[in-house]
């Protein structure tokens, strides 16, 4: 018997084999590696990339997005609004009236050939799709900028090379895990005088239809790894973008569909399911029995709902309250600047941005000198003010605010119940005078106000919490993780013994922690091939990008035994 049907129907794997192998080696080494250069001015990218992408974006406003290869019986005219122009994009996306049609299309598409292709075939197609996505990095960047409000450079890096690196990482790992066991083996068991012989066949089998529900602030970076991991395993994938940030994912899906079609697969193996704020379809999709896998980035309530659905494999990233604990440092100014950058970057709208800064009332040792609590707080406030109001750096780092709700929250920071140290304020963006902008607010809270700091306050708001001691700070930071979850943590401390205890403390609550960041590396950043984004071990996320279960839970190993 030949065994399971696994057709080798694409020659693309051999084209990308060395890249997959390199990625796998880097993933296991965990030192620095990038398959896609992160600077837009890299020679790998066209010099006029941004310019032509902006022209294409402007021409698309109010028009139909024509690059998808999927069928539909209606059109969603999107409610996307640029946080930079405050204009509605009104882009038309092909859609189905009935959400179940997406499920049927993805399932049917996968059944046509995708499921029964070898992992090599699928991985080759998807590695090629990443190259096509690379060709669209500038389009994706502009689309990300004008839907999420990310500053342009971040939009390029996060939705472009960094997201592609993370997708490649998931792809390479999935390839390794799907081919971990032999396709066929002869099992010979000695049974006294005779030998029992069984020919055994093994294959990785996709679970069914996967659903990727994206968020409005990091639609591509947070979703692409799951999309690629699900596809690599043979699942059909429905991509359900946030109604406020459809275009960046529409471009990615179009590129994936292009390669699928070219290689003889059904394009709808990966299908975009756009919707509108007043007619959401996520729950309907989640509850279809064919949907076996759900990736989700978003709020706690919907995340908890998804995790509670019976019989689904879920990968969620929800809210968290990330902490900085300051004990001592070698350089107050560099520390303040590093923290200020983390707070200002995309106006605090990163899931890894700091929220709570715990400082002991006893002050902070700076080299040999004891800086008072007030001096340290002032240094932080000054650094945030300097950076966020800098005419050039400010706009380039802060970007714009994705939603009016986030802006309202930040504006209201003075009424939270603490002392307002720095008011949230709009700044004038040099290129986009209508931009919805906001520099960070800093609020000082009593250590008794855990009702405030044990809750995610999404957006450009930071809480400075005055504590009794370093130990008190650490206790509060750990409880914040236990109650709310966290995706990052940062500690400034020059005492190695203390740092070793601290490292173990954050490990106990399954949180990535950074020590003494003073230069150009920030607690918000997680690099593909080296950093695990979230651990899946605290309330902020039940999965990690990219640990081993992130790929292996998307397929099962199925076996057939043949007596010979």
Binding mask 1-20 for its own copies (x = CB under 8 A): xxxxx---------------
What's the closest the beta carbon of residue 508 comes to its own copies, in angstroms? Answer: 8
Q: Does 43 bind its own copies (CB under 8 A)?
A: no
In 174-214, DSSP assigns E strands to 184-191, 194-206, 209-213
Residue with tokens 């593909």: 528
Q: Does 307 bind its own copies (CB under 8 A)?
A: yes
Q: How far apart are CA 395 and CA 193, in angstroms?
A: 81
SS3 491: strand
Q: Does 535 bind its own copies (CB under 8 A)?
A: yes
What's the closest the beta carbon of residue 63 comes to its own copies, in angstroms? Answer: 39
Taken in order 157, 158, 164, 166, is the CA torsion positive or negative? Answer: positive
Nearer to its own copies, 302 or 373 (CB): 302
Say what angle helices 137-148 and 247-262 make with each other, to 10 degrees: 150
Tell me how many residues contact its own copies (CB under 8 A).
Answer: 79
Q: Does 511 bind its own copies (CB under 8 A)?
A: yes
Binding mask 157-196 for its own copies (x = CB under 8 A): --------------------x--xxx--xxxxxxx--x-x
Q: Which of 212, 126, 132, 205 is nearest to 170 (CA)?
A: 126
Q: Which of 272, 276, 401 is nearest to 346 (CA)?
A: 401
Stretch that binds its own copies, among 121-129, 143-151, 242-250, 493-501 (CB under 8 A): 493-501
Q: Does 30 bind its own copies (CB under 8 A)?
A: yes
Nearer to its own copies, 86 or 558 (CB): 558
DSSP 77-143: E---B-TTT--B---EEEE-SSTHHHHHHHHHHIIIIITTB-HHHHHHHHHHHHHHHHHTHHHHHHH
- Of 222, 328, 439, 552, the one binding its own copies by CB under 8 A: 552
Site for its own copies in 101-140 (CB under 8 A): 116
Structure tokens at 367: 């080299």
Q: How many CA atoms lie within 13 A of 488 on its CB side?
A: 22
- Of 77, 79, 112, 198, the one binding its own copies by CB under 8 A: 198
- Of 157, 257, 403, 516, the one binding its own copies by CB under 8 A: 516
Q: What are the angstrom distances between the C-alpha of 141 and each of 162, 249, 432, 451? A: 12, 11, 16, 38
What's the closest the beta carbon of residue 86 comes to its own copies, in angstroms? Answer: 35
What's the closest the beta carbon of residue 186 comes to its own copies, in angstroms? Answer: 7
- Of 153, 205, 393, 425, the one binding its own copies by CB under 8 A: 205
Phi, psi of 510 (to 5 degrees): 55, 55
Q: Does 304 bind its own copies (CB under 8 A)?
A: yes
Show contacts of 335-339: CB within 8 Å, 24+ apart. Answer: 335/379, 335/492, 335/518, 336/376, 336/379, 336/380, 336/382, 336/383, 337/383, 337/387, 338/517, 338/518, 338/519, 338/522, 339/380, 339/383, 339/490
Nearer to its own copies, 110 or 252 (CB): 110
Q: How many CA atoms lie within 13 A of 506 on its CB side?
A: 25
Site for its own copies in 223-282 (CB under 8 A): none
Stretch that binds its own copies, among 98-106, 222-230, 373-381, 516-524 (CB under 8 A): 516-524
Structure tokens at 375: 């001096």
Structure tokens at 526: 């997680």
What's the closest the beta carbon of residue 29 comes to its own copies, in angstroms? Answer: 7
What's the closest the beta carbon of residue 266 comes to its own copies, in angstroms? Answer: 17
- Of 23, 103, 512, 540, the one binding its own copies by CB under 8 A: 512
Q: How far apart are CA 234 and CA 179, in angstroms?
A: 13
Q: Does 479 bind its own copies (CB under 8 A)?
A: no
Q: Does 539 bind its own copies (CB under 8 A)?
A: yes
Binding mask 324-363 for its own copies (x = CB under 8 A): ----------------------------------------
- Of 43, 277, 310, 433, the one binding its own copies by CB under 8 A: 310
Q: Which of 349, 343, 457 is nearest to 394 (CA)?
A: 343
Q: Does 153 bind its own copies (CB under 8 A)?
A: no
SS3 61: coil
Stretch that binds its own copies, among 101-109, 212-220, 370-378, 534-542 (CB under 8 A): 534-542
Nearer to its own copies, 22 or 67 (CB): 22
- Of 28, 63, 71, 333, the one binding its own copies by CB under 8 A: 28
Q: Does 302 bind its own copies (CB under 8 A)?
A: no
Stretch that binds its own copies, among 131-139, 404-412, 414-422, 495-503 (CB under 8 A): 495-503
Q: How far apart are CA 47 and CA 1, in angstroms?
A: 55
Q: Does 558 bind its own copies (CB under 8 A)?
A: yes
CA angle 316, 69, 17 (to 5 degrees): 65
Nearer to its own copies, 249 or 319 (CB): 319
Strand partners, 62: none
Nearer to its own copies, 7 or 370 (CB): 7
Residues 6+ apart with CB under 8 A from 409: 457, 458, 459, 461
Nearer to its own copies, 226 or 248 (CB): 226
């Amino acid at each position: 018997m030949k065994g399971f049907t696994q057709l080798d129907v694409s020659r693309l794997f051999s084209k990308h084999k060395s890249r997959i192998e390199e990625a796998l080696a880097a993933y296991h080494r965990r030192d620095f590696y990038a398959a896609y250069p992160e600077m837009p001015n890299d020679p790998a990218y066209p010099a006029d990339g941004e310019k032509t992408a902006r022209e294409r974006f402007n021409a698309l406003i109010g028009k139909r997005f024509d690059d998808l290869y999927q069928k539909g019986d209606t059109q969603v005219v999107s409610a996307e609004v640029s946080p930079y122009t405050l204009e509605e994009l009104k882009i038309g996306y092909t859609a189905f009236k009935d959400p179940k049609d997406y499920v049927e299309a993805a399932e049917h598409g996968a059944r046509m050939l995708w499921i029964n292709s070898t992992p090599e075939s699928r991985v080759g197609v998807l590695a090629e799709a990443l190259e096509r996505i690379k060709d669209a990095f500038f389009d994706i960047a502009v689309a990300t900028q004008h839907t999420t409000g990310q500053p342009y450079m971040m939009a390029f890096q996060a939705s472009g090379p960094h997201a592609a690196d993370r997708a490649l990482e998931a792809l390479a790992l999935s390839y390794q895990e799907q081919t971990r066991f032999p396709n066929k083996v002869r099992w010979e068991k000695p049974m006294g005088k005779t030998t029992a012989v069984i020919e055994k066949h093994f294959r990785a089998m996709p679970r069914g239809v996967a659903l990727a529900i994206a968020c409005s602030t990091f639609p591509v970076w947070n979703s692409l790894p799951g999309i690629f991991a699900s596809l690599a395993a043979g699942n059909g994938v429905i991509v359900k973008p946030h109604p406020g940030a459809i275009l960046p994912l529409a471009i990615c899906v179009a590129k994936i569909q292009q390669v699928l079609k070219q290689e003889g697969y059904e394009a709808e193996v990966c299908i975009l399911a756009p919707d509108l704020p007043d007619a959401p379809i996520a729950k309907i999709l989640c509850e279809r029995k064919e949907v076996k896998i759900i990736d989700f980035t978003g709020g706690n309530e919907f995340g908890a709902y998804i995790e509670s659905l019976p019989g689904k494999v879920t990968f969620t990233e929800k809210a968290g309250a990330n902490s900085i604990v300051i004990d001592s440092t070698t350089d107050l100014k560099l520390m303040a600047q590093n923290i200020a950058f983390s707070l200002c970057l995309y106006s605090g709208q990163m899931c890894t941005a700091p929220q709570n800064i715990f400082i002991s009332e006893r002050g902070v040792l700076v080299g040999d000198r004891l800086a008072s609590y007030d001096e340290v707080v002032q240094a932080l406030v000054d650094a945030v003010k300097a950076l966020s109001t800098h005419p050039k750096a400010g706009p380039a780092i802060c970007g714009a605010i994705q939603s009016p709700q986030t802006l309202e929250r930040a504006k209201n920071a003075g009424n939270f119940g603490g002392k307002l140290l720095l008011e949230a304020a709009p700044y004038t963006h040099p290129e986009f005078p209508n931009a919805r902008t906001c520099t960070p607010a800093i609020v000082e809270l009593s250590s008794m106000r855990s009702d405030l700091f044990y809750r995610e306050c999404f957006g450009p708001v930071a809480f400075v919490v005055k504590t009794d001691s370093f130990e008190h700070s650490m206790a509060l930071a750990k409880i914040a993780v236990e109650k709310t979850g966290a995706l990052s943590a940062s500690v400034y401390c020059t005492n190695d013994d203390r740092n070793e205890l601290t490292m173990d403390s954050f490990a106990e609550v399954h949180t990535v922690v950074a020590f003494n960041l003073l230069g150009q590396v920030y607690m918000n950043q997680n690099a593909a091939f080296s950093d695990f984004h979230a651990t899946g071990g605290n309330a902020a996320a039940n999965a990690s990008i990219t640990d081993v279960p992130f790929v292996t839970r998307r397929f099962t190993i199925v076996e057939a035994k043949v007596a010979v």
